[in-house]
């Protein structure tokens, strides 16, 4: 049996009996003795206040709800030095010309090695699913999914212009996506023709519903016409009766609405059970650009207003060292550290931590929500830090436990 004494966020743990009275630090961490046996947490007890406060933090392994594994680390060969959205797209298309089954697979393997060592247990990745390399990209990624299945859960979203799903080829591809347990994706941003967009939404939603696939859209990643695509999507959803989960990624321009309009829209999103993925790093880099200006307007998903309305919001890393964003490294602690000043989201608040833990788990429909309690899986990350501030000030050293066993982060394999 493995016994760990560590600080654990009070909001991520279910305690019983005397342990309910466990003291909590001002940052919401409580000292616990965690017993692990046969891949499960078998006991969680409060550490006596007379004992030394642990100098390490335990978290459930974390989640990346929105990545692009197929293009990660392509910046070196395909940089976008101007940093604009349009240049990113053009360079992305150039990268497609050099795509092979093997280089997509290698990028994903490199990404997942990092993700695993950094404490991630599940990744939802959008995959470029247009052009001549769409099928080989999926084949490479399905290989990777199989190879990593004991260590990480991988979900894929077919990313393509939305109108593709209306075509015969699109229907065939959607069948393939559904058969492999994937999600239907798409990119929608202004400017657009309202009638055409509505029809595209309608056809895509119908198709996904028929196939029983979820939907995850890149929507309103823009600084013009605030939330324009989202409003059209809601109009279409109001006329339909579908059960599939709908996720909207980015919704950056929604943050530019007046508070009254924003609040009304947030209520409609909650009513339609739409999940949101906010993507601070790529948005901060690409949006609000004006020549020779430092932006004073920062289009970004209004996380707190959405949460106040009852919408589930996850935060993702999005692009990693590709034409869309030059930095990132699949480190959830680094993402939390960036989100803290950018979105004023702090992990010592329940709603500040949920986007990286429970909300992400629910969005990906994972079998475990990430709450530590007796009988839960022993899927944890142990941080060498005495407080949240220490954990976020510089990315901490960590150990990762997968299925009750520590992984050897040097050898990158389970020992
Ligand atoms: Zn994305």
Q: Report the CATH number at residue 220.
A: 3.20.20.140
Tell me the CA–centroid distance for residue 156 and ligand 1, in Å. Answer: 12
Tell me the CA–centroid distance for residue 394 and ligand 1, in Å. Answer: 26
Give yes or no: residues 97 and 219 share one domain.
yes
Give yes or no: residues 262 and 334 share one domain.
yes
Tell me the CA–centroid distance for residue 375 and ligand 1, in Å. Answer: 35
In which domain, by residue range, is 27 found?
2-55+372-414
Chunked in runs of 10, what are the mean pLDDT values of the chain (415 residues)? Answer: 96 90 94 97 94 96 98 98 96 97 98 97 97 95 98 98 96 96 97 96 97 97 97 96 96 98 98 97 96 95 98 98 98 98 97 98 98 98 97 95 86 42
Report residues near ion ligand 1: CB below 5 Å. 318
pLDDT recorded at residue 392? 98
Give yes or no: residues 218 and 238 share one domain.
yes
Tell me the CA–centroid distance for residue 309 and ligand 1, in Å. Answer: 24
Tell me the CA–centroid distance for residue 157 and ligand 1, in Å. Answer: 10
Give yes or no: residues 237 and 309 share one domain.
yes
Tell me the CA–centroid distance for residue 332 and ligand 1, in Å. Answer: 16
Q: What is the 3-state secondary structure (H, E, C) of the chain?
A: CEEEEEEEEHHHECCCHHHHHCCECCCCEEEEEEEEECCEEEEEEECCCCCCCCCCEEEECEEEEEECCCCCCCCCCCCCCCCCHHHHHHHHHHHHHCCCHHHHHHHHHHHHHHHHHHCEEEEEEEEECCCCCHHHHHHHHHHHHHHHCCCCEEEEEEECEHHHHHCHHHHHHHHHHHHCCCEEEEEECCCCCHHHHHHHHHHHHHHHHHHCCCEEEEECCCCCCCCHHHHHHHHHHHCCCCCCCEEEEECHHHHHCCHHHHHHHHHHHHHCCCEEEECHHHHHHHCCCCCCCCCCCCCCCCHHHHHHCCCCEEECCECCCECCECCCCCCHHHHHHHHHHHHCCCCCCHHHHHHHCHHHHHHCCCCCCCCECCCCECCEEEECCCCHHHHHHCCCCEEEEECCEEEECCCCEEC
Tell me the CA–centroid distance for residue 342 and ligand 1, in Å. Answer: 18
Give yes or no: residues 100 and 239 share one domain.
yes
Give yes or no: residues 193 and 175 share one domain.
yes
Give yes or no: residues 29 and 161 share one domain.
no
Give yes or no: residues 149 and 167 share one domain.
yes
Give yes or no: residues 359 and 394 share one domain.
no
Total number of domains in the chain = 2
Give yes or no: residues 38 and 138 share one domain.
no
Give yes or no: residues 35 and 75 share one domain.
no
pTM, to two decimals: 0.96
């Amino acid at each position: 049996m493995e016994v760990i004494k560590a600080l654990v966020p009070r909001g991520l743990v279910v305690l019983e009996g005397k342990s309910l009275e466990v003291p909590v630090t001002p940052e919401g961490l409580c000292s616990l003795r965690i017993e692990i046996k046969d891949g499960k947490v078998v006991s969680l007890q409060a550490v006596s206040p007379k004992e030394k406060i642990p100098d390490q933090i335990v978290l459930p392994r974390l989640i990346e709800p929105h990545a692009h594994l197929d293009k990660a680390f392509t910046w070196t060969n395909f940089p976008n030095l101007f940093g604009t959205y349009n240049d990113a797209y053009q360079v992305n298309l150039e990268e497609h010309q050099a795509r092979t089954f093997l280089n997509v697979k290698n990028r994903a393997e490199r990404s997942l090695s990092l993700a695993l060592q950094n404490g991630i247990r599940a990744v939802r990745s959008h995959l470029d699913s247009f052009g001549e390399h769409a099928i080989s990209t999926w084949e490479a990624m399905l290989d990777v999914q199989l190879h990593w299945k004991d260590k990480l859960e991988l979900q894929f979203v077919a990313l393509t212009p939305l109108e593709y799903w209306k075509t015969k080829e699109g229907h065939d591809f959607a069948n393939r996506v559904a058969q492999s347990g994937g999600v239907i994706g798409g990119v929608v941003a202004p400017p657009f023709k309202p009638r055409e967009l509505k029809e595209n939404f309608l056809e895509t939603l119908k198709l996904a519903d028929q196939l029983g696939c979820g939907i995850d859209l890149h929507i309103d990643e823009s600084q013009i016409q605030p939330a324009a695509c989202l409003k059209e999507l809601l109009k279409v959803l109001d006329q339909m009766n579908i059960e599939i989960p709908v996720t909207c990624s980015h919704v950056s321009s929604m943050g530019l609405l007046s508070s009254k309009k924003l609040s009304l829209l947030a209520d409609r999103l909650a009513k339609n059970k739409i999940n949101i993925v906010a993507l601070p790093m790529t948005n901060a880099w690409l949006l609000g650009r004006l020549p020779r200006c430092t932006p004073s307007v920062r289009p970004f998903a209004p996380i707190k207003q959405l949460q106040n309305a009852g919408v589930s919001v996850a935060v993702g890393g999005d692009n990693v060292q590709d034409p869309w964003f030059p930095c990132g490294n699949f480190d959830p602690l680094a993402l939390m550290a960036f989100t803290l000043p950018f979105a004023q989201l702090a992990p010592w608040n329940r709603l500040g931590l949920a986007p990286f833990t429970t909300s992400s788990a629910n969005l990906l429909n994972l079998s475990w929500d990430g709450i530590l309690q007796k009988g839960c899986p022993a899927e944890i990350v142990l941080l060498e830090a005495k407080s949240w501030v220490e954990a976020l000030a510089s990315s901490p050293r960590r150990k990762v436990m997968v299925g009750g066993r520590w992984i050897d982060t040097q050898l990158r394999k389970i020992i």
